[in-house]
Each structure stands twice: as C-alpha cells, then as structure tokens.
Structure 1
Amino acid sequence: MIVEPDRDAVRAALDRESRRLIDHVRSSAHLDTPAPGLDWTAGQLVAHLCVVYRAFALAVRGDDYGEDITAHLGTGHTLPEVVASTNARALSVVSFPGPREAADGLRECADELLAALDTGPDLRAARPTPWYGTGVTRTVGTLAALSVSESVVHGYDLAGALRARPWLDERSAASAAPTVMSEMLPLLVDPARARGFTGSFEVRIRRAPRFVLQLDAGQARTVPAGGRPTASCP
C-alpha cells in the first residue's frame, strides 16, 4: 500500500520547486562551494538533480533508459549503498562550466519530467527503477512525489551552499512526503536488526494523509491508518 499522490498538487509542486532552484542557480556567482553536511558542491547538487529529473522522465514515459543511465548504475546490498554508488558514478560524468549552463540544464531536465507527467500516465503503473536495486520497481506516482522530495531536500542543501536564505514550502512537502515515505520506508529497514521486533507506527505528516508502518519478522510494509499503533520486542 502507498499513499497515492494528487497529480495536480505534485505537478504544481515540481514546477514551483524546480523554478525556485533554477533562479537560485542562475543568480549565483559560482557553484564550487561545498554544501554543508554533504560531500557535494553546489554544482554537484545541480548535476544530481538533473540526473534524477532525466531518469524519472524516462521512467514515467516507460522508455528504455539507454547507456547514459544503465552504464552508471551502482552496486550494493542495501538501498543506501546502491543509491550512493549510483550517485558517485553519475556525478563523475556530469558537470557544468558555470551557473548559467547549470541553470539551463536543470530547466531542460525539469521541463522534460513535467512534460512526461502531463501526458497523463497511470500513477499506479509500476516502472523499473534499477538505481534503487536490481529488480526494484516504483510507481509513476511515487516517482513524481520523489522528484518533489528531491527538489525540496536539495533546495535546502543548495541554499546552504550558496549562502542563501533556506526555504521550505509546506505545500510541496505535504504533496510528496506521504507517498515517498509510505513506499520508500520499507526499503530502508535492515532485516537483521529488525528481526525479532513486531510493531506498527502511525506516521503523521502535517496537512497530509496518515499511514501506518508495520514491522514483523524483519520485514516492513505500509497500510492505511486507522488501527492503534503497537510495538513489542522479545
């Protein structure tokens, strides 16, 4: 079970957040400053977002990924390991000579994803997402929500790198967070550490639908909210 996003709200949030990102990048003097708390520079944050928008656009359309994507997929045993490896490989080949080119590239990739969403794809349709692991699929709705989440989170990172005032639009966060968390949280559970624990937790997000995360025998799943959260551990 995932919380299905509102198509119009997510589309509007992606447009709003990508435009805000592009404006900050275009008005910056340079992009080689580090992002606080990350190993990336401002330019690498932009490159990462371009890769995300481009890959998600291909996925939403149901197109083949091609060598540009498949040649840079990472490896690992867990979702964080695979994602980190993929990011490192992608950033080794994507760069921009300056802020203007970075802003133009971000605009092009964001517009491609927005156009893909405008074709009206089934939000429940599953798409291969090999950058999350071999055989992993995510729904079109989840990819749309993830694109907003990536924009919001890295917008905050970019503001820190560019020494700009950070921003957080609650409308954007609320449109994406329930979908992202309800489908991605189960992938982040460590089966070995969760083994022997049984419990459920209701996840509440301001101005957004609730859902429940259930753990049992080292596995996690999400279900609609309604029952009382419980927890037990031998």
Structure 2
Amino acid sequence: MASAPFPDSAAPALDDGPVVLARGEGPYGEVVLRRHGALLQIIANGCFLMDTSDGRSERLLVTEAFAALADHPSAAPPDVLIGGLGVGFSLAAAAAEPGWGGITVLERESAVIDWHRAGPLGELTAAALADPRVRLVHGDLLAHLHEVEAGYDALCLDVDNGPDWTVTEDNEGLYSPAGLAACRAALRPGGVLVVWSARGSERFVKNLRKAGFTGVGTREVPVARGVPDVLFLASHHLASQSA
C-alpha cells in the first residue's frame, strides 16, 4: 500500500505511538481508525486489518480483473463490484481506469464509510467517490451477491485477511461451496473473480475449481515484511490470466 498523501504538518513524528482518531460500533464489534506516524490504520475488534503503508496488492485486485476482461472484450464497459472499502486503494484504482462501467463498492461497516465521506480517509478517496460511475453501498457482501439481478463482470473481494484467516466467523460463509456458488451466479458469463489474501491457500484453489470456476490461478505480491500477499484469480466459463 503506497504512503498516504498527508502533509507533513498533519502527521506526528514516525516514532510516536498510534493515536486513535475515531471509533465506531458495527454489527461485528468495535472498529477503530488510528494514525501511527504518517499512516492511517483500521483495527476491528483489536485485529489489525489494513493501513496506508502500501497498496500494490489492493490496486492489483482491480487491475488484474480489468486485464483479464480485456482479453475477452464485450460490447459494453464492464461493471465491477469491490467487496470491502478498507482504506480505499481498490476503489481509487478502479476510478482511475476509464474503461470500467459501473463501480459498486460494498462495505458492511458504516463507520468506515463515514471516515471516507467526512473523515481522514477522504484524502485518499474524495475524487473517486465523486466519480459518477461509483456507487457506495452499506451492507453484507454475501447477502448482496444473493440479491443481485443484473450481475457483474468482475468481483474483486477484499473482506478478510484471507479464506483461511477470516476476521469474523460469519465471513467463512463467503468461501464455502454455497458462498462460491453465489459469487459465480453473480458473475456474467466470462466474468472474473479476484480474491485478496494475506497468504496462499491450496485448499481455496481446489474449492474454486470445485465450484465450477475455470482458469484458476494465483499471483503473489511481495510485501516489505513477512510472506507475500496473494491474489486468487478465477473466471466464470472463460479462462483468466494469472501470473
């Protein structure tokens, strides 16, 4: 994740400890926004979720999906659903690509939405949120997938630390056979699914294939510390590109 564009005067010294900027209560407990030096961080129930220190893998979540769709162009610009707003890197990457049609972002924590609309995270996403293609939806991802009618050309999902490391037990349903079936049903033929994870999972790769996805592959994205982030790529009927 690339460093957030905050002016030096707005950020405390890098050796200062984290400072809580805001707290919110959601359906799954407390969500906290804090600043640590030049970085903004989101913490859920004491579990670190993400910060503004980098963003390569979150941006690639969207750019890989667009590249896969470009191999099988359609008459209309493709529509994308981004599952998880987070600090906004994926949204910003989608808005920066003029080739997308509709850009829907689904976030279950109302506090996170507020921090983007009228809070510190707005510095990252104000321009993207002003894009007329962007629709920000507050709700549960799996419920939304079951309700969608027209479908999407791409699902770019970043709602957990990964399929084997969920933030809440409820999220396990997304990676279950029923959850993957809902993802596939929400995709138009030829559509692509990209799932972000903090680590790889052979089990999830097998489950994607069992769910009927084709062209299943992974892309590792190096990070400054620890194991690489991983993107799982799959397609509905048509083979997707993977690195």
Compare the two structures and name the one with the higher helix fraction: 1
Pairwise TM-score range, normalised by the shorter structure: under 0.3
Compare the two structures and name the one with the higher strand fraction: 2
Instruction: Please report the TM-score for the alignment, with normalisation by the length of structure 2.
Output: 0.26
- Structure number with larger C-alpha Rg: 1
